[in-house]
Structure 1
């Protein structure tokens, strides 16, 4: 395994001894075991070594190596493998999937997709027709690898699987698979992240690869290879679908609707192998049949893992509750899906706590065996899987028809037209049928105008619609009871991810429900529909006004600023000549301060951004501030810096940069955090500190540098952990404090003198006295895995212009802050009361009480500038679209108000 390193330099006696010992230790593992014993391979099919120069598992293949190898396989066996490009990463790398089947099956791949679409809709395919399709239709399995770029074994196991199927078609298991199954392989879901990992890993390797977990090889620098270019955890992007890689995968899965989908991952190197059955809780909109099918395949794995002597476990972690994972999203079109996790070598060799040397080849081997077993399980259960798939669609439609409370969701599309359009097209991207009303209509006694969107749950994707639009999806009662028991015992809870994800709430979109079918004349919404803006009175002589409050207006602003237009923004609502009212924040583009081709420029920007623009022939304002008032400010094109590198959270930094650059369409400069401590920031108007731990890297000197810059007119924006840094009493950038947990009954503590080895005796009369005495005196609030919370917004401040009175944000962690006092600043958004604060998810009762009426958005002026602090992250996963206008105000309106 390490020979290629040893050959680079002469052997010393010590080198020979070390090489012998190293080889002996490695060979003590499973590294010499055949991948599939007894298999004879066709020499006409190229091996990894013949193409890339090393054996499978001997080296970590990079993106280019993976692509070269799959192209070589296609060239060698074009009748049995076809490669398709499904997306391009942000860095320009193409993503592929391969379809492998026997020649006559592969030749009919497009017909297979058509037949699966027929099977997926019982409204056009009755049971008799479905049974006829099922008799001849092959099974299908979709294996997706390495969505986290530093979970490395998946890609090489995918390459080995493709070779194994093509080079040994008559091997007993392979013959069974290829006889009735199409195997889809997505070998590398995150090419940008993988190349980040592999290039850094091999830059660290010395004479021999190190097995030491504290070595540089096993400790990646910031940002790790887990994430893509914009530092997204793409396994959490299946709900908001913000990244091109995710969009391409969803389109491909929606085309073929494979019956079994497996997302192949890695976990800590000291662990063994995990596969289905999954841990509790399960999403209640998944079916027992789907779960049972994955259990059947899990049993098949156990058979093979026992044969190879591989350790494994099931059920203990990795639940199936959140619908936005790569293994959960497919279940909502009817697939049976699961996650696999192997202990990671995170390099070529890793020393486990047991002392075992665990090689990269070991991890690749286990992934390969699980992959073959999955395909075999699909083959063995072909007819059952197809029948269950059809029945899933039947049941989904029937469930929608029987729902007498929330059968139909209606998006009135009256206020936030850009946000509503984004939500409607997003659901179409997911494969949900969405109709845009062509005419006015009535539903459940309420009238709606043309342009409203209608989503009926009585459709094949009805369960996905329910789980993403239902305000509250409950975890199993027994699971919750167990979590409360664990919490009472001061044990960590077993909640794996966020428990609230209602898309209408996160988008802050008005949504109505109706308990019966709605008849409406309309147009089907498509994922690639474009929001087209308009200009009313395009020949206006005085000005153009853009109503503020949605992202179409926001993108109009960023485009106009970058094109050099002079723009004002009103701090308060106003009315023009007793005719039309405009909300606070509305943009005013005056003809007198802009070039002669203003009308054409405004029309072009409106069309591109989807903004609605009104031309006006008078500046006579009858209510609110006039165009020349001190309550209108001139907008600036700020230069924005964002803290980058350690100690920022890469996810927070990447998500925030993505929101500003790709959703706001405005450039951001990344500056390494350590440079912010001493750099001259006078060229920047805005500095954003994402979530992170800044005390050591910035410290007091960094805080002083930032404070001096703020006082000269800078806008400092802090999120979550950065707000914790700013509020630290040693730092002093923000005049609030983080709270300890509130206790109804103070702890019964003995008076202790730490200098003495004994204390005064006490009497405990019940067990609760012991529990109380055991608690920490300054305990933090209980940790929250992630819920959606209701937030109330101050409507009388320029920073909240155009923002709804009520919005929803995500609460994660255990940070709760005191309100800022009026002498220092103002609380501009705060969590609602204890009975209203929870919008969706599961929140501990104590946190409900303590979070109530505590600040979410804080504004503190400092000299000519200001600090704007978010106590949580408004950009998390880029799926809180309903908070985007708030963030835009924090950047652009704040810059306009800085002196």
Structure 2
């Protein structure tokens, strides 16, 4: 934590231009608006506001005024707790979770005494208004006549986007202490304001510690200074280095889980996510850029534009620059400003130019102060709350109508009204996805008997979701294979690409959850008859051991994450077990897939039966106890095609030059989804470290030429040849494949060019042969670079074929789906060096979801996704794309587990 009392005197003594703005806290009576930092008095829309001294301000609680310094997580908590102590009838704090590092997550509800006292009833009434299946129009009208409107303001999901937390504190204070102001009175009387002041305490704490540790005699505004250049991994992400603004779809992090639960409880009508952008920008608010998700409604778009117009009015009055429509779109459903739209809210992102510290010199030569950024977010927050209060009736009416229309849209869909997960394979994956949708607030059912839907008969235990429900649009946008961007937007992107202007696609264009989980999903245009079981958040995946007192062995069929979690737990419990390279049939009775685990009774202690049952219950795995080892087809238990497994020690490259997101996402998948520890080693250390006590080394995406270079690569190569397993992910594969590095015998491809285009110039000559151009196309053709990479892909889901005859793909389906991002395409490895074990499908079939440039489709077809290259006693396993992105590609987890645990069993290293 920051040593506030040591650093603060230095800062305040030097920065008289800032400290002069902080006025002493009032002792008694009502104090004019000018008691806040002077520039905040420029908020001319609230000229008559006075502050009640009974409500403590930041100066009196924390010893500094708004915008004077960057508030820490403990100080933020202390201030909100002081507000609640002073005004317990008008503000109530809720703890909604705890971060990985143990920091408390809170949100506050602010309103009149009556509204705060009735929060429980408000939640009940909003739940009723959210479901026209139980609340008819007459009852809904009665609710709308009495309910307040509501707004949820969420701040600092990116820990180094610092100003919004202090703006949240000022907003809460302004609403509670402000007297004699029509805007404040209107907001308090007609709405409930929910404030989540700090969504990412771990990242903010990391930023603050780094920032104040670099401050010298005075703050530097120079963008080259250490103050404005954060060390890896920066403060943006949380403990596991997740960009939590992109976690709303997968809900992997505790911070996301808690706030989604809170929003599902109260269903706020307007949700605003407040961010920061580059310091040379101004301020952004709605309307959003194109494309817009087609499952959003026009009423939602209109309502958020109402908010934008009111923001513009206040910004104009204050002389603040702003822009709209140019950057931040509303297409991907997994942001903090898009997820709420799919329960019916109107939502938007706000972005302010960031000082990334206390002062920043802009390109125009002007200094941007921290106080300036706080002020703008504060004004936007109050302006938003004002709009919500002014439009109470409209927002409630549109919210209820959204639910009605969502149900009607589901009923009228004659092709995809119902999505069915047959649950024939990957039992654990189907269960996890069903639970995930329940966490989102979707009604998911599991069949209790055989059900016939659209000509297909589904066994008991199948899952289905009927889109004729209030969350039907969310189901459509997350379960439909393809969500299209508008034709006009695509046409413009193709035009821009042709002109080499760069596309305007902001994020991934494919995100179908069944595809990312690699699950079978069917559809039906009719509702489902019968009384079936509603999936609940409290459901657990039940493990089972048949013949628990087996005399010979226990077999765990391989192929899902229940078996994977059993494996990692068993290895850590020192259970002796083997993996079978090929499928086998036991005693002519049951066939087990390749990769299945064999736990022999004789090789383990007397408690093995109890241990297996315990691990089955923990993991949810289905395990067969057997009384014979007689195999009638495939490898026997004692075959050379069964390999003894032991607990590998895993290292992951950490720190520059790795991608922090890739490193964090990968570590999270292994530690929290697989349940196995990983040691993070700084990349600079790997260059010369003695790695003999590690069996697996993972290089996440990154630019390793600067961090490892040839010497580091040589150190790793020697370790691999001695029996180590090197796994490269995404752009780390580019490093390994570099001819000067020599870790992997493949090459990265340049873009395919039309024959005769862009002739390579003679660099030694100052002239070229003359040509006559007939039209503009000739100019364009000769302007092309002769050698360039394929066009960049923002993120699509691609179909991948899998070799079924290798231990590295044991238990993996014959086809999986991976995410393609960037422009790396690799030529296949030659058989003399290794094997291509998974590859992208044909040009016609490679695209699973999203939008992919035609040239990339053509070039990506049949290029490798997974490569295995033996090297001495060890091996290199290369993923040409990242399998751990955002920890939401669950369908690739078994493949990654094989690369870690089966690979270490197949390497020959002295242990």
TM-score of the superposed pair, with normalisation by structure 2: 0.96
Match of 1:804?
813
Tell me if structure 2 keeps the 8 A contact 1:327–1:339.
yes
- Does residue 851 (structure 1) correspond to residue 857 (structure 2)? The answer is no
Match of 1:760?
769
Shift of residue 763 of structure 1? 1.9
Distance 1:726 1:9, change over 3 A: closer
Shift of residue 865 of structure 1? 0.1
Tell me if structure 1 keeps the 8 A contact 2:49–2:180.
no
Tell me if structure 1 keeps the 8 A contact 2:48–2:181.
no
Distance 1:79 1:551, change over 3 A: same
Shift of residue 105 of structure 1? 1.1
RMSD: 1.8
Deviations 1:89-108, CA, capped at 9 Å, x for gaps: 00011100000000011100
Shift of residue 528 of structure 1? 3.2
Match of 2:823?
814
Match of 1:586?
596
880, 884, 897: which one aligns with 1:875: 884
Distance 1:305 1:509, change over 3 A: same
Tell me if structure 2 keeps the 8 A contact 1:31–1:359.
no
Shift of residue 172 of structure 1? 1.1
C-alpha distance in 2 between matches for 1:589 and 1:3: 59
C-alpha distance in 2 between matches for 1:8 and 1:661: 42
Match of 2:341?
331
C-alpha distance in 1 between matches for 2:572 and 2:380: 52
Deviations 1:725-776, CA, capped at 9 Å, x for gaps: 0000000100000000001233243753x34433332222222221111111
- Does residue 250 (structure 1) correspond to residue 292 (structure 2)? The answer is no
C-alpha distance in 1 between matches for 2:473 and 2:876: 44
Tell me if structure 2 keeps the 8 A contact 1:275–1:338.
yes
Following superposition of structure 1 onto structure 2, how do residues 726-805 of structure 1 map, counting pairs within 5 Å?
726-749=736-759, 751-752=761-762, 754-805=763-814
Match of 1:235?
245
C-alpha distance in 2 between matches for 1:341 and 1:82: 27
Tell me if structure 1 keeps the 8 A contact 2:7–2:212.
no
Tell me if structure 2 keeps the 8 A contact 1:750–1:759.
no
Distance 1:448 1:21, change over 3 A: closer
- Does residue 472 (structure 1) correspond to residue 482 (structure 2)? The answer is yes
Tell me if structure 1 keeps the 8 A contact 2:758–2:784.
no
Shift of residue 10 of structure 1? 13
- Does residue 403 (structure 1) correspond to residue 403 (structure 2)? The answer is no
210, 214, 224: which one aligns with 2:224: 214
C-alpha distance in 2 between matches for 1:554 and 1:858: 22
The unaligned stretches of length 5 or more in structure 2 are 22-36
C-alpha distance in 2 between matches for 1:253 and 1:23: 40
- Does residue 430 (structure 1) correspond to residue 440 (structure 2)? The answer is yes
Following superposition of structure 1 onto structure 2, how do residues 535-554 of structure 1 map, counting pairs within 5 Å?
535-554=545-564
Match of 1:576?
586
Shift of residue 454 of structure 1? 1.1
Match of 2:869?
860
Match of 2:834?
825
Match of 2:30?
none
- Does residue 309 (structure 1) correspond to residue 319 (structure 2)? The answer is yes
C-alpha distance in 2 between matches for 1:38 and 1:58: 24
Distance 1:348 1:756, change over 3 A: same
Shift of residue 488 of structure 1? 0.5
Match of 1:166?
176
Match of 1:501?
511
Match of 2:698?
688
Distance 1:4 1:57, change over 3 A: farther
C-alpha distance in 2 between matches for 1:614 and 1:748: 63
163, 175, 181: which one aligns with 2:191: 181
C-alpha distance in 1 between matches for 2:224 and 2:9: 26
**Size of the alignment, in residue pairs?**
889
Distance 1:746 1:674, change over 3 A: farther
- Does residue 839 (structure 1) correspond to residue 815 (structure 2)? The answer is no
Match of 2:60?
50
Q: Tell me, what secondary structure is at the counterpart of 1:781?
A: coil
- Does residue 486 (structure 1) correspond to residue 525 (structure 2)? The answer is no
- Does residue 117 (structure 1) correspond to residue 127 (structure 2)? The answer is yes
Following superposition of structure 1 onto structure 2, how do residues 66-85 of structure 1 map, counting pairs within 5 Å?
66-85=76-95
C-alpha distance in 2 between matches for 1:119 and 1:862: 63
- Does residue 394 (structure 1) correspond to residue 404 (structure 2)? The answer is yes
Tell me if structure 2 keeps the 8 A contact 1:5–1:208.
no
Following superposition of structure 1 onto structure 2, how do residues 524-539 of structure 1 map, counting pairs within 5 Å?
524-539=534-549
C-alpha distance in 2 between matches for 1:379 and 1:23: 35
Which is further off, 36-45 or 672-681? 36-45
Tell me if structure 1 keeps the 8 A contact 2:314–2:379.
yes
Match of 1:380?
390
662, 666, 686: which one aligns with 1:676: 686
TM-score of the superposed pair, with normalisation by structure 1: 0.97
C-alpha distance in 1 between matches for 2:664 and 2:773: 52
Q: Tell me, what secondary structure is at the counterpart of 2:211?
A: helix
86, 89, 92: which one aligns with 2:99: 89
- Does residue 341 (structure 1) correspond to residue 362 (structure 2)? The answer is no
Shift of residue 33 of structure 1? 3.9
C-alpha distance in 1 between matches for 2:382 and 2:40: 19
